[in-house]
Structure 1
Amino acid sequence: MQRYFVDQECWNDNTLYVNGEDTHHIVRVMRMREGDNLVAIHPEKGPALCKITKVAQDDVHCCVVKWMEEDRELPVRVTIVASLGKGDKLEQIVQKGTELGASVFIPYQADRSVAKWDNKKAVKKIERLQKISKEASEQSERTVVPEVQSVHSLHQLLEMKTHYDHCFFGYADEARQQKSESLSESFQPLKRGQTVLVAFGPEGGFSEGEVEKLSNEGFKSIRLGPRILRMETAPLYFLSSLSYMLEEF
């Protein structure tokens, strides 16, 4: 069933209205009418099965039929730090990473990032990525929309370490070492409810200086299997492996 994330100010106890682009989607794309059902997600209370009571020109009014209990989120809160890459690679990471359960995305201006975002470009890029995150959350039936933060520097990433229980970074050299610790072993200390920060380099990987600073600040380098992965593949491998270990294994 189609679902929509509805801002808190649009709710009044067990009634609500949907506005903006979602109104167009409900009326023009899904062709819903009064009496049809949809799932509306409250920012704090979560999802509710709702019935459309009125279709107006600028909004759609609904009433709550019942509140729903869902367990769709990863048992740990994961922040993905993705280096700026060429083309739509960051968009792929946000879309697929949202489907796989990431909670936050942080674009990172790495030493070897080919792409460069000026301030004007960055604002539009972040808005685009946040929209992709919302659409992917609706498609994958999540109960929260991952946040896409502003572009960070290495200094900002290092300062964030104290706010997380575990900090990792994907390092290609770990895949080249036969005796490196496996990813499943790196996941062993993780417990439900904890927070994870994981950083991934651009097409050319992290520079030696970045590796040194990340390691010195307590970020643990991890091995993402025996093969060298593309920058847009590595975060998805990490999230898929984490989901299997904590949700399916």
Structure 2
Amino acid sequence: MQRYFVAPGQFAGAGVTLTGDDARHLGTVMRAKPGDVFIACDGAGREAQVRIETIEPGKIAGTVLQWIDTGSEMAWRVTVAQSLPKGDKLETVIQKGTEAGAAAFLPFTSRRTIVQYDERKEGKRLERWRKIAKEAAEQAHRAVIPEVAPVCSWQQLLRSMKDYDLTLLCYEEEGRGGTGLKQVLSAFRERSPSAANPRVLVVVGPEGGFDPQEAEQAAAAGATAVGLGRRILRTETAALVALACIAYESGEMGG
């Protein structure tokens, strides 16, 4: 069954209106007709089965048949802070990270960031990143579209760390016999058994990683440096490994 995210304002009582690209996709590409049913999500956790009533160019009107509670979101709200990588790697992080359950993405620049940040191009890139998150959320049957924030600086990221219950700095030096991610997550779960939807920040560096001074600054801001195993991971791989570990440790995989 096709799934589409619609703005909350497109829900009106028992009625739902699908417009723009989504309406064209459902009506033209999928060749939907009145009486067919699709899933409409408001991006904030509400989902409904909707029966198509009328189809017009660029607009589909439907009626809510029933509201659905899929429980598809992670119990821990994980934000991935990713230092801007080269090429289209951030698109991969957003797409796969959305499938893995990330609640938000926070791109940033750090000392070893190779990409030359161009503020003039940010609007178009941010629009594309958010479109990728929306499409990945639909494909993964998510009830919420992850937020993709504008690019921030390292200092801005440091100041934001106080807003999270747990901040994890993925640091390759900890993978060589240092603090492992598992022990940090286990300790956090044990000391916060009653915390509802704790906010977790996963911070991943660029291709060259973090320098020692940045690791010290992150620690001073409340972050815990963790290793993701004995191997060196690519920057676009690290966040996905961390998300999988968090999903397991938070109980999403059962047990």
What TM-score bracket applies, with the shorter chain setting the length?
over 0.9
1:217 is matched with 221
Distance 2:44 2:215 in 1: 39
Distance 2:237 2:119 in 1: 27
Tell me, what secondary structure is at the counterpart of 2:113? coil
Determine if the alignment matches structure 1 residue 106 to structure 2 residue 110: no
Is the Cα–Cα contact under 8 Å of residues 109 and 116 in structure 1 kept in the other structure? Answer: no
Tell me, what secondary structure is at the counterpart of 2:162? helix
Please identify runs of 4+ aligned residues in structure 1 that moved more than 4 A. none
Distance 2:207 2:155 in 1: 21
Distance 2:64 2:40 in 1: 9
2:206 is matched with 202
Superposition TM-score, scaled by structure 2 size: 0.94
Shift of 1:235: 0.2
1:37 is matched with 37
Written as runs of structure 1 = structure 2, the 5 A alignment for 1:13-24 is: 13-24=13-24
Shift of 1:44: 4.5
Shift of 1:219: 0.6
1:184 is matched with 182
Q: Percent identity?
A: 38
Distance 1:128 1:169 in 2: 27
Is the Cα–Cα contact under 8 Å of residues 98 and 146 in structure 2 kept in the other structure? Answer: yes
Is the Cα–Cα contact under 8 Å of residues 162 and 222 in structure 2 kept in the other structure? Answer: no
Distance 2:137 2:152 in 1: 24
Distance 2:44 2:147 in 1: 15
- CA deviation string 1:85-117 (max 9, x = no partner): 111110000000000000110111111111122
1:236 is matched with 240
Higher mean C-alpha deviation, range 61-70 or range 111-120: 111-120
Distance 2:102 2:151 in 1: 17
Written as runs of structure 1 = structure 2, the 5 A alignment for 1:116-127 is: 116-127=116-127
Shift of 1:45: 5.9
Shift of 1:35: 0.7
Change (3 A) 1:88 1:43: closer
Superposition TM-score, scaled by structure 1 size: 0.96
Tell me, what secondary structure is at the counterpart of 1:233? helix
- CA deviation string 1:22-55 (max 9, x = no partner): 0111112211111111000124461101111000
Structure 1 vs Structure 2 CA RMSD: 1.2
What amino acid is aligned across from residue 4 of structure 1 in structure 2?
A: Y
